[in-house]
Structures are given as C-alpha cells and as structure tokens.
Amino acid sequence: MDAQHSRGQIMHKTYSGQSLTLLDPLLSRLLSIVDPKIEVMSGYPANCSVWLTVYYQRKSRQWSYEWYDRVGYHRPTELGSSMECLMREVSDRGASHQEHLIARRAMAESVFFEA
C-alpha cells in the first residue's frame, strides 16, 4: 500500500453496506411509486395535541402513522378540549370505505377516539 501512496494512487474500498445506503433514497422513491401511501385519516386524536396522519399501502398491506410534532403546529386552543377526537376520514385520496373502517377500528383500539 505504501508504494501506491508514493505514486499518488490510493485504492478505496467499497462495502456493500455503504452502497446500500447510497441506494436507499432511490429504492425508497421507487417503492413509493410502486406501492404508494394512501392517506386514510388525519387530524387531532383524542388526548393529543399533535396532528396525526394514518396511511395504508395496499400492495404491502402496511399501515403507517406520521405525527406532525413541530413547534407552533399543535392543536389550537380554539378547537376546545384535547379530550375530543378531531380525526376525519380522508375521502379525496383514494382510500376505500373498508380502509376507513379498519383505520377507525385501529384508532379506537388504541384509545385515540376515547374522550
């Protein structure tokens, strides 16, 4: 290796883990095209002051949740008590009636609908 350094040639090793991390954003983008997240519900759950969005991916049959917890974006006091559930079914993003029912049941089981 010292001979390579003296001639100005340095060999760099690539590791499979390193190349995977470079491909992750590309693979993630490709997956979002092939199996897009469908917004099913969004709003302020009961007993929460943070906005929640519930997604479903049909091909992989996976549910995911995203909490929007940023300073200045919490439940406005004008909306009343945080005990009240203000989640709504999103109907303009392609979610089916059955997906709404499943999301509603999952929310109820996780006590986010309880007052």
SS3 77: helix
8: in domain: no
Give the pLDDT of residue 15.
46
51: in domain: yes
1: in domain: no
11: in domain: no
26: in domain: no
Q: Look up the pTM and report it.
A: 0.68
**What is the rounded average pLDDT of the residues 11-28?**
60
Q: Between vectors from CA 21 to CA 15 and to CA 23, what angle results, nearest 5°? A: 105
Tally of structural domains, the chain = 1
**What is the rounded average pLDDT of the residues 24-40?**
80
77: in domain: yes
Give the pLDDT of residue 54.
93
104: in domain: yes
Tokens found for residue 34: 């092939």
61: in domain: yes
Q: Which domain holds residue 64?
A: 35-109
